[in-house]
Amino acid sequence: MRGPDPLGWDEYCARWSLTHGGYDPRRASPLVRGWLRLGHRLGTALVRVGVRSPDAATLAGLLLSAAVPLTAPAFPAGPLVAALLVLLSAVADTVDGVLAVIADRATRMGQVYDAAADRLSEAAWLLAFTLLGAPVWLTVAAGAAMWLHEYVRARATAAGMRDIGTITVAERPTRVLVTVFGLLATLADPRAATVAAAIALGLSLVGLAQLVFAVRKALR
């Protein structure tokens, strides 16, 4: 059965902004804005055919990510399949937020589930790099930097920061791209797993510095 007509892009951005501290996604970088536009289009298509559960999309994304470290080292083409799983997981993660907004099913618990699923997904991706040969200390450090990036933003918001502070170089779309291209590169050279983990760590540290600067400015 056909669902109700979903929100257009501008109205969606306005509602998205309300659930993200007032930040307007139309002011984001081209990468982040393009990713959100893709999610909006997919979510719109799902709502029109009657799919309206954001929690189902969150769970689907988490299960896809859980399969990444199982698949990547399993057979010669494993990294290729794992890269596809990461991409599908990221799409599901984007769609769940879109469904929450345009189907008017955003809840505080849903936001908690989504954030937890994101961190677990990223841990699974980094585990895949470890199994493909990246040093454990490096993937652990990258995961810690990613976690700290999100933790600082969450605590700053709880402390009174009115929006998400700033869009850094280490946002979710960047992490997805580093993971996807890193997995694909291991098909040509196994050392790419180490390089990808190092890039993830470096970008996360730079993003953290950007975020801390924005937080200090917002809460000063």
pLDDT tens, position by position, 12-46: 888 877 766 677 878 877 877 887 888 888 888 88
Task: Please give the pLDDT value at position 111.
Answer: 83
Average pLDDT of 67-81?
98
Task: Please give the pLDDT value at position 61.
Answer: 95
Task: Please give the pLDDT value at position 2.
Answer: 47
Average pLDDT of 166-182?
94
Task: Please give the pLDDT value at position 200.
Answer: 98
What sign for the dihedral angle of Cα 173, 64, 192, 144? positive
Residue type, 19: T
How far CA 3 is from CA of 34, 93, 97, 102, 200, in Å, comes to 25, 21, 17, 11, 40
Joined tokens for residue 62: 């988490």
For 24, residues 6+ apart whose C-beta sits below 8 A from its C-beta are 13, 17
Provide the whole-model pTM. 0.86
Confidence class for position 103, pLDDT limits 50, 70, 90 = confident
Percent of the chain at pLDDT > 90 equals 57
Does residue 5 have a pLDDT over 60? no
How far CA 202 is from CA of 136, 139, 151, 185, 208, in Å, comes to 16, 11, 17, 18, 10
Task: Please give the pLDDT value at position 21.
Answer: 65
Confidence class for position 168, pLDDT limits 50, 70, 90 = very high
